[in-house]
Structure 1
């Protein structure tokens, strides 16, 4: 099965062509990463085209699309979701959404804290224990999250801290974002079973900055 994996939930724009067999881990045939916190729309399409070209495949060769659902900032996240939905509709492909934090933690054992940048001096976070998310995703201030860790906190101790905002909480390796293999690994059970995908529901976790304009104000003469 040939799968296109996309994610735009972080500043890292991810696109990859992945082969998924009947068993075993996903195999990445080609991948592209671009960094641009506010350039997702400009960078994603070229990344997809380059990954397909490197893999020697075309869009018509694809069997499915997997896309990260976030959490992530509104504008960047919706670029990936709209692109995935449009490709699925145009090519007649199933489109499976997976939580981005699950994909970041894919393949890691133990108690893994995933922390990504939410801007506004906040972070998105999830706790994944041996591949199963037990807390989150939530959005909070880094100091508040740090206070909840350790033996006295409600989250408890963690073995690893990953994600592009790990350093804001308690160090960590600064993993920039999900890999194509991680995205497909999370969706693998559904892909292999032929399960029909559910709706793509983005994990914004908070309202967008833009709001509808209010009613025009009445102007009176003095």
Structure 2
């Protein structure tokens, strides 16, 4: 269990400390930025997000030499399993309430982008379908949406992406999620499910 009292309530969260987390995939994906640098962790946990998330966040802050407190929390909004997506969202909202932080949502698919240029990303939506999008990426951050996140048949998505690079079912990047959240994360986000 996370001891939120370790960060006194009267302290204003440091504006330059940002936490990102995603629990929509089988991976527990975290990132933290501060003036002291960047920290990132991504580990496969299956369905054990709820059990491992609090301790992993505490460890991430400790590794960075920071108090457990941030001004912004970026959350991956899915698509993912109902329980997985809600674990991360609930935890992020709880932290934000205690810290007085803002929460910005970003589609989990944006944590799959790599490099620069137009590219397709997707997650398995079962029964011959994927949940995918096609993005334009610059500096490792989505700068344009060519085809918005949507459920497609495998064949339809292959036709949609054409010859573009396709990143699928890979290890999400917490830093890509964090940077997307800072660049264009939404404060009025909603969760999406596979």
- Out of 114, 117, 120, the position equivalent to 2:124 is 117
Aligned residue for 1:58, secondary structure, equals: coil
Aligned to 2:167: 162
Aligned to 2:45: 36
Output the CA distance in 1 between the equivalents of 2:125 and 2:115. Answer: 23
Aligned to 2:93: 85
Structure 2: segments with no counterpart, 5+ residues: 1-15
Aligned residue for 1:83, secondary structure, equals: helix
- Max Rg structure: 1
Structure 1: segments with no counterpart, 5+ residues: 22-26, 149-154, 165-174, 192-196, 207-222
Deviation at 1:121, TM superposition (A): 4.6
Output the CA distance in 2 between the equivalents of 1:54 and 1:85. Answer: 23
Matched, 1:14 2:29: yes
Output the CA distance in 2 between the equivalents of 1:120 and 1:13. Answer: 24
Matched, 1:202 2:180: no
TM-score, L = length of structure 1: 0.70
Output the CA distance in 1 between the equivalents of 2:136 and 2:184. Answer: 20
RMSD between superposed Cα atoms in Å: 2.3
Output the CA distance in 1 between the equivalents of 2:127 and 2:85. Answer: 16
Alignment deviations for residues 152-210 of structure 1 (CA, whole Å, 9 cap, x no partner) = xxx2524311131xxxxxxxxxx322x2211121122358xxxxx52331022x6xxxx
Question: How many residue pairs end up in the alignment?
Answer: 174
Bigger relative CO (Cα 8 Å, ≥ 6 apart): 2
- The answer to which structure has the higher strand fraction is 2
